[in-house]
Amino acid sequence: MLLVRLLCLVQTLTLFLVILSFFVWSIGSFGRYYWTVTFRPLLAKQKAQKLLAETYYDRDCGREDFSTSDFNDLIIRDEWDFTKAAENVLTHGVSVFPKVIDRELASAFRNYILERNERLEPEEMVYVMNAKTKR
């Protein structure tokens, strides 16, 4: 009878240790995942923000958030260095990099977008500048 109770106690303790080990492993795995997915990117953003001395975050923007109404302010100039170009992107949230593709490819891409827009709903369409206003 004592041997049966002793075996039952050993079995119970073994099961408890297995459950405890699984629980510790689960907490560790969750912690590692949370660190990799959440904390590491936040720390990287914080370090980048310290370098820029600015605070940027994801949010919905409205008309009052526009930094310019002149399209020319968005164009990256040839004489600018990368610091000025980055500053322009950070100021306006977007910049236009001219001469990235040649005229032939730009024309083919523009025609494709216009044809594709004909098959889409208005909210899905891609805005294409009027041909008269493009450079």
What are 104's two structure tokens? Answer: 């032939």
- Identify which of 89, 68, 71 has the alpha carbon closest to the alpha carbon of residue 80: 89
Q: What is the pLDDT of residue 51?
A: 58
CA distance 19 to 25: 10
| Average pLDDT rounded to a whole number, residues 86-94 | 86
Q: What is the pLDDT of residue 49?
A: 65
Domain boundaries, the chain: 1-58, 63-124
What is the per-residue pLDDT across 48-80, written as a single tens digit (0 to 9) for each?
666 555 555 666 777 777 788 888 899 999 899
Reply yes or no on whether the pLDDT at 132 is more than 60.
Answer: no
What is the per-residue pLDDT across 9-34, written as a single tens digit (0 to 9) for each?
999 999 999 999 999 999 999 989 98
Assign 91 a pLDDT band (cuts: 50, 70, 90): confident
CA distance 117 to 127: 9
Q: What is the pLDDT of residue 52?
A: 58
